[in-house]
Amino acid sequence: MKNINLYALAIAGMLAVGCAKENKKDDAFAKADTPETTKTDFEYSVDQFADIKILRYQIPGFEDLTLKEQKLVYYMTQAGLAGRDIMWAQNYRHNIEIRKALETIYTSQAVDKTGSDWDAFETYLKRVWFSNGIHHHYSNAKLKPEFSQEYLKGLLTQSGAKLEGEAFDVLFNDKDAKKVNLSKDADIVLESAINFYGPDVTTAEVEKFYDAIKVSTETPIEKGLNTRLVKQDGVLVEQVYKSGGLYGAAIDNIIFWLEKAKTVAENSEQEKALGLLIAYYKTGSLDTWDEYCIAWATSTAGNIDWINGFIEVYNDPKGYKGSYETIVQIKDFDMSKKMEVLTVEAQWFEDNSPLMEEHKKDSVKGVSYKTVIVAGEAGDASPSTPIGVNLPNNNWIRQTHGSKSVSLGNIINSYNNAGGSGRLKEFAHDEKEVELEEKYGQLADKLHTALHEVVGHASGQINKGVGTPKETLKSYKSTIEEGRADLFGLYYLMDPKLEEIGLVENWKNTGMAAYDGYIRNGLITQLVRLELGDDVEEAHMRNRQWVSAWAFERGAKENVIEKVTREGKTYYNINDYVKLREIFGELLRETQRITSEGDYAAAKALVEDYGVKVDPAIHKEVLDRNSKFKSAAYSGFVNPVIIPVTEGDNITGFKVTQPESFESQMLQYSEMYGYLK
């Protein structure tokens, strides 16, 4: 027991670095709930505007890498940035044209840069940079300029910039109002501005097109992953992202840097994976993409790793199209070793879960979980970044060949060092809840991320003959999957097994802190992200709400979670944590059944009944209570700049610097990596 306690204390000290619950764009508000952590002289904050805070992160350990390893990191970060414009183009068809015009205005010496209108223009441009386009990175709503059309026309004239027709008008009208529209009453393809489909393509046409493409039931490719579906002469055709194809100018530069990276691969497995990634970008073949994913998932040796490709499908209302994303990673061996116990115990968690026996895996394959140090990000991962990632997404590859789960340690550390505890005291029910959060909350959130990624996403199996979730659950696929993984983590956060294997000192208090934080966020605090009157649109916000709201309703008769009103303020207090765990287990069993059986009707009912609508009175109250806090609801990052030191044509070393400002990095990126028109 003494060794276990010492081990747990070591983990608590090393891992108490923040809230992370998912593999995409986590709740930055939750991070602001936690008290500040390690104090250093490093300046984490860069800028704050609108609802956004810009932070910096460091790359500890880069200087300890060999020169060859440093070259691999540098080449892979350059490959990632080379494709930056792809994300802009994917997000909206006019984004790059708009960005170029706004940047020309911003850098022009002929423009009068004074007054409230200019301040509003500058804020708008920063918001566009942060979102990789004119739609909010999280809510998907079109960003609204707080300056007039006439003012912008004047700036265009002064600077000589060009922005005309639909690209100008859309900034001020009601068209293309949502990047992704998941309303059950909408034609979710036609009414989404995302540029994965032509602007005249409908949901019915997309479904018919992809239903007609037959793939292997045992080893299905991710059809449609790397294409734009458009009409040509009235006929639907796919424009493939590849060299010589759509986005070819950027992809050719990605390939250039990947080929350099291949020459400094750490081992033959990495070299093979990079070769397949290059072949994929050259051909656009999804069979090659699967070969690459297998090679990448099974390549676990070495100090350097990466995520690169068209990956997450959250931005596609139909769940086919992958957004361009890259993250370059240096392994944190000390942290990864501490968390390896979850990988070792993955089968135990599966076997002892409340899933139906027929939905459990007999053998959980190759779940690799590591904490990593981020060296650079681009595309869908930047400036707004994930804090945990589990890949590959193709389910048959995960089941047969395994997957990689990573926690982005230095990103989480930056979040914590830029945070504060004021909101926690405002929205927590009582001092006991505050005390639990301050003592156990960071570790609880860290463990939830690990359980979510390692055993949550890796758990369960689909019944034979049932299609993939994107085919069966359609637009509800992403939120059901994230909720399922969240529930798996929640179920085990109140299990003595965590103390038995040395991950916590006090499993009960850690679990209580986790449950408090999840319900508080799911029912109250995440509402600060929404404009008053808006529905919940984003997949992860939806899953946090439907999990919490369903659990609240399910336990109502026994008052498991109590809604408390005190001095005009609403709180949710958990009265029975053990019963709540049973409720989470019950909902986990049901979400796995929905996934395994492809029950679209049940998925729709769960999400629409519990995850979409917001009580307007509580929403207004939350916004009013939150208004006194200065910290922004969302955070993102500038990237460190890795600069090669050369002698002649040879790289002899590297130095790492920080950008002067958010705007300087954005302008530099546009100049250096603006390969698309």
Could you tell me if 406 and 527 lie in one domain? Answer: yes
Question: 334 and 362 share a domain?
Answer: yes
Letter string b/e over residues 303-321, b meaning 16 or more CB atoms within 10 A of that residue's CB = bbbbbbbbbbbbbbbbbbb
Answer whether residue 498 is part of any domain: yes
Residues 59 and 76 in one domain: no
- In the predicted model, what is the mean pLDDT of residues 201-210? 98
Range with lowest mean pLDDT among 166-175, 263-272, 624-633: 624-633
Nearest residue to 533 (alpha-carbon basis) of 624, 416, 614: 614
Banded pLDDT at 142 (limits 50, 70, 90) = very high
- Round the average pLDDT of the chain to a whole number and report it: 92
For 231-244, how does the pLDDT look when each residue is reduced to its tens digit (9 = 90+)?
A: 999 999 999 999 99
138: closest CA among 573, 528, 642, 649? Answer: 528
Assess if residue 539 is contained within a domain.
yes
* Residue 366: per-residue pLDDT: 64
- The neighbour count for residue 259, using CB atoms within 10 Å, is 14
> Quick one: pLDDT band at residue 32, thresholds 50, 70, 90?
very low
- Region 630-658 average pLDDT: 95
Residue 124 included in any domain: yes
pLDDT at position 419 is: 62
Average pLDDT over residues 506-517: 98
Residue 376 tokens, joined: 């650079």
Inter-residue contact 337 to 432 (CB < 8 Å): no
> Is 80 within a domain?
yes
Q: Do 494 and 366 fall into the same domain?
A: yes
Q: Is the domain of 484 the same as that of 626?
A: yes
- Which pLDDT does position 380 carry in this prediction? 97
Compute the average pLDDT of residues 5-24: 32
Question: 508: Cβ–Cβ under 8 A, 6 or more apart, which residues?
Answer: 494, 577
Model confidence at 254: pLDDT above 50: yes
Q: Are residues 24 and 78 in the same domain?
A: no
**651 plus 514 within the same structural domain:** no
Domain that holds residue 75: 70-171+641-673
Judgement on whether residues 322 and 353 belong to the same structural domain of the protein: yes
Same domain, 513 and 656: no
Q: Does some domain include residue 311? A: yes
Mean pLDDT value of segment 114-123: 98
Whether residue 661 sits in one domain with residue 537: no
Out of 31-45, 103-117, 277-291, 337-351, pick the least confident: 31-45
Q: What is the pLDDT of residues 15-25, one digit of tens each?
A: 333 333 344 33
Q: Is residue 242 part of a domain?
A: no
Do 598 and 626 have their domain in common? yes
Host H or E run for residue 582: helix 577-597
Q: What percent of the chain has pLDDT over 70?
A: 94
pLDDT at 420: 59
Pairing of strands 235-240, 227-232: antiparallel
pLDDT of 40 higher than 70: no
Note the pLDDT of residue 1: 35
Residue 171 has what pLDDT? 98
Poorest-confidence range of 318-332, 626-640, 648-662? 626-640
Looking at the domain assignment, is residue 197 inside a domain?
Answer: no
Domain count, the chain: 2
Same-domain pairing of 379 and 456: yes
Dump pLDDT digits (tens) for 600-633.
999 999 999 999 999 999 999 999 999 998 878 8
Residue 560 lies in a domain: yes
At 417, the pLDDT band (50, 70, 90 cuts) reads confident
Q: Say whether pLDDT at 99 is over 90.
A: yes
Range of lowest pLDDT (34-43, 426-435, 489-498) = 34-43
Query: For position 41, what pLDDT does the model report?
Result: 80
